[in-house]
Amino acid sequence: MSRIGKSPITIPDGVTVNVADGVVTVKGKLGELTQEFSEITIKVEDGTITLERPSDKKDVRAKHGLYRSLIANMIEGVSKGWTKELEFVGVGYRASNQGQKLDLAVGFSHNIVLEVAPEVKVETVSEKGKNPIVKLTSHDKQLVGQVAAKIRAFRKPEPYKGKGIKFVGEIIRRKAGKSA
C-alpha cells in the first residue's frame, strides 16, 4: 500500500474542491487549478479528501501517491502559494525586472531578456555587497519550478569557484583546483 496515497488531505477554509468526470478543480483566494485524473477514485467529504485505488496493478499503485501529492500541492498553492528564490553568484552577475520581463546579465556578451508567464510574480532584490536574488511566486508549483529551472539553466553553478545561478540554500559540491 502507498503510505503517501493512504493519508487523507484536509481542505483549509476558503478552498473549494470539485471532482467531476476525472477532473479535479481547486479554487482558493490565490487562484484556480485543474488536473485530470484516471483510474483512482477521489472522495471529498467532511473537509477531507481520500484517494482509493480499485486494483493493485503496478501503474495504478504508482499513480496513487502521485495524485495525492498533486492534489495536496494544488490545495497549498491556492491557499498559501509557492515561492522559489534564485541567487546569482559571480562578479558582474545582475538581475532586474520590468513587470514580467526579466533582464539577466550572467557573463555573456549580451543580456538575456526572459518573458515570464503572467501567473508567476517576479521580484528582484539587489543589495550592495550581496548577491542579487530573484524571487518567483505563484499558486502553481509546477509552473514556478519550471520557470526557476529555465533561469538556472542559463548558467548552472560550476564546481570550482561556485559561480552561476543557484537556488537559495542549495549546496554546491566544490572541487579542488589543480595542485601545483
pLDDT in the model for residue 3 = 84
Q: How far apart are CA 133 and CA 108, in angstroms?
A: 19
Domain boundary residue among 27, 53, 79? 79
Q: Give which of 104, 70, 71, 65 is closest to 87, Cα–Cα.
A: 104
Give the mean model confidence (pLDDT) for residues 32-46. Answer: 93
In which domain, by residue range, is 57 found?
A: 3-79
pLDDT in tens, 149-158: 999 999 999 9
pLDDT in tens, 83-111: 999 999 999 999 999 999 999 999 999 99
Q: Tell whether 47 and 103 lie within a shared domain.
A: no
Residue 148 has pLDDT above 90, yes or no: yes
Residue 1 has pLDDT above 60, yes or no: no
Residue type, 110: H
pLDDT in the model for residue 178 = 87
* 134 inside domain: yes
Question: What is the chain's mean pLDDT, rounded?
Answer: 94
Residue 81 has pLDDT above 90, yes or no: yes
Give the mean model confidence (pLDDT) for residues 108-118. Answer: 96
Q: Tell whether 62 and 8 lie within a shared domain.
A: yes
Contact 168, 88 (CB under 8 A): no
**Where residue 67 sits, what CATH number does that domain have?**
3.90.930.12
HSE-CB at 127 with a 13 A cutoff on CA atoms is 4
* 178 inside domain: no
Residue type, 116: V
Contact 121, 127 (CB under 8 A): no
Contact 148, 170 (CB under 8 A): no
* 60 inside domain: yes
Residue 64 has pLDDT above 70, yes or no: yes
Domain count, the chain: 2
DSSP bridge partners of 86: 134, 167
Residue 180 has pLDDT above 80, yes or no: no
The conformational region for residue 69 under phi > 0 = left, psi -120 to 50 = alpha, else beta, is alpha
pTM for the full predicted model: 0.90
Q: In which band, very low, low, confident or very high, does the pLDDT at 47 lie, cut at 50, 70 and 90?
A: very high
* 176 inside domain: no
